[in-house]
Amino acid sequence: MNQPILVTCPHCQAVNRVPADKLGDNGTCGRCKGALFTGAPLTLNAANFAAHAEKGDLPLLVDFWAPWCGPCRSMAPAFSAAAGQLEPRVRLGKVNTEEEQALAARFGIRSIPTLVLIRHGREIARQAGAMGADDIRRWTLAHLG
């Protein structure tokens, strides 16, 4: 039997059951009819973070960044490219540490950019420093097994 995967909608945060073999079929949300995968990182904040980090079955790769940070700005296109490469296996999101200081404190972010890989609400890996798209993809997949 094909066990369903819980996928949180990037638009309305509704949790959708998607058959594992249909993840790559450009599914839409049962509530809002938006695309479940956009090929781009989500903007995460206090209001939607838990829905993506804790409720869904997809691992969540979070880029903790700030607008004033040069390495963060230089890594942004690579992180966006990695989203296109890693979806639908992994959800990618960005947390602006200037606007979401409580989230940054919750994860003990000391330097930026910092990537944190989360599965079912638990951190499974962390990497500080800017990386290219291929390095982000390799690092993420290596920690997912």
Tokens of 53: 């980090």
Is residue 12 annotated as part of the catalytic site, yes or no?
A: no
Phi, psi of 87 (to 5 degrees): -70, 145
Q: Which residues pair with 126 in a beta bridge?
A: 116
Q: Residue 94 and residue 42: Cα distance in Å, rounded?
A: 6
Question: 30: exposed, middle or buried (C-beta count within 10 Å: 0-12, 13-18, 19+)?
Answer: middle
Tokens of 21: 């073999």
Active-site option among 12, 29, 32, 69:
69
Is residue 72 annotated as part of the catalytic site, yes or no?
A: yes
> Active-site residues: which are they?
69, 72
